[in-house]
């Protein structure tokens, strides 16, 4: 049976009908969220959206996406929980250490030439990537002339980022990553332990501004020498990726650097010819025109 055939009430839904119904429910949910709360998830990639939405349906003890829609539209706390599920805040310090090592070797010498440096971490999640950059800049003697803007759509993540408090159990892995990324001092110098957590030095936060910013709907807010946007666009569809690449292209200074996640690429968008790779493997690109 296809979606175009009329279905009698007695027949169970065939796969294609179920898929179509699910697509309609997702569309209505996202449209409602956009209209009521102003968050636009309509151009996120469907397979990942579908998984996250069902995860929330079950987490709310509901049985359908329509039921989730009803709850989300009438209960702001439920909406906040959905945003948290949809935003996938997974991150770590010095994630992909070889990228940070390459950044140190190839990008830092370029940044030394600037009198001041503006860096944007778009989709910074709970802040681990930003503190990693602050540590790297400090070790390279560049921190004091840097201004770092760290943005995300997820307010809950941003709150944690501002506090700079993380689980102590993760420090061993982070310390290993820091070393592999070419770290120059003991990682433990950058935080103070307090029972099961650690707090990173307030000194590292001094030049960081944390703010809410939505890549799907907000415009640029400055001109940057470096933009990090790692592991964010993998969740977007082609149209939204193109939109974000345009935003970054317009926000980068001449010879500015764009850093993407390991599974992301500059290729297949209108701006790919405007960049050259800085390393052979790592996703660090330099704007050349």
Ligand X SMILES: C[S@@+](CC[C@H](N)C(=O)[O-])C[C@H]1O[C@@H](n2cnc3c(N)ncnc32)[C@H](O)[C@@H]1O
Mapping DSSP onto H, E and C, the string for 23-78 reads: HHHHHHHHHHHHHHHCCCCCCECHHHHHHHHHHHHHHCCCCCHHHHHHHHHHCHHH
Closer to ligand X by Cβ: residue 19 or 239: 239
Closer to ligand X by Cβ: residue 20 or 89: 89
Q: How far is the CB of 128 from ligand X (least distance, A)?
A: 6
Q: Which value, to the nearest 10 degrees, does the dihedral of the CA atoms of residues 50, 51, 55, 56 take?
A: -30
∠ Cα 256 93 217 (to 5°): 50
Give the binding site for ligand X (CB under 6 A).
87-91, 95, 123-125, 129, 152-154, 157, 214-216, 230-232, 261
Q: How far is the CB of 241 from ligand X (least distance, A)?
A: 11
CA contacts within 13 A on the Cβ side of 267: 3
CB 72 within 8 A of CB 114: no
Closer to ligand X by Cβ: residue 11 or 236: 236
Q: How far is the CB of 101 from ligand X (least distance, A)?
A: 16
Q: How far is the CB of 4 from ligand X (least distance, A)?
A: 35
As a whole number of angstroms, the distance between CA 143 and CA 186 comes to: 18
Closer to ligand X by Cβ: residue 212 or 273: 212
Which two three-digit tokens encode residue 247?
């935003």
Closest C-alpha among 120, 194, 121, 123 to residue 164: 194
Beta-bridged to residue 287, according to DSSP, are: 275
Q: Residue 148 in 3-state DSSP?
A: strand
Q: How far is the CB of 38 from ligand X (least distance, A)?
A: 12
CB 160 within 8 A of CB 127: yes
Closer to ligand X by Cβ: residue 95 or 118: 95
Q: How far is the CB of 222 from ligand X (least distance, A)?
A: 16
Q: How far is the CB of 16 from ligand X (least distance, A)?
A: 30
Closer to ligand X by Cβ: residue 69 or 177: 177
Closer to ligand X by Cβ: residue 87 or 177: 87
CA contacts within 13 A on the Cβ side of 63: 0
């Amino acid at each position: 049976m296809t979606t175009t055939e009329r279905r009698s009430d007695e027949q169970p839904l065939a796969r294609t009908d179920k898929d179509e119904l699910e697509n309609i429910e997702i569309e209505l949910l996202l449209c409602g969220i956009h209209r009521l709360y102003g968050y636009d998830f309509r151009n996120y990639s469907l397979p990942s959206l579908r998984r996250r939405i069902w995860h929330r349906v079950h987490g709310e003890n509901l049985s359908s996406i329509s039921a989730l829609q009803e709850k989300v539209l009438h209960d702001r706390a439920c909406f906040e929980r959905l945003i948290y599920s949809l935003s996938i805040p997974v991150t770590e310090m010095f994630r992909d250490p070889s990228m940070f090592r390459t950044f140190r070797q190839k990008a830092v010498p370029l940044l030394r030439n600037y009198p001041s440096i503006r860096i944007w971490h778009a989709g910074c999640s709970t802040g681990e990537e930003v503190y990693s950059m602050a540590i790297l800049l400090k070790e390279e003697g560049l921190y004091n002339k840097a201004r770092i803007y760290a943005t995300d759509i997820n307010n809950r993540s941003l709150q944690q980022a501002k506090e700079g408090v993380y689980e102590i159990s993760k420090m061993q892995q982070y310390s290993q990553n820091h070393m592999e990324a070419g770290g120059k001092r003991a990682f433990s110098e950058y935080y103070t332990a307090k029972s099961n957590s650690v707090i990173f030095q307030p000194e590292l936060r001094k030049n960081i501004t944390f703010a809410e910013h939505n890549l799907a709907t907000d415009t640029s807010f400055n001109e940057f020498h470096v933009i990090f946007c790692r592991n964010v666009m993998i969740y977007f569809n082609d149209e939204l990726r193109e939109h974000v690449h345009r935003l970054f292209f317009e926000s980068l200074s001449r010879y500015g650097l764009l850093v993407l996640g390991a599974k992301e690429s500059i290729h297949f968008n209108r701006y790919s010819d405007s960049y050259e790779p800085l390393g052979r493997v790592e996703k660090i690109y330099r704007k050349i025109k």
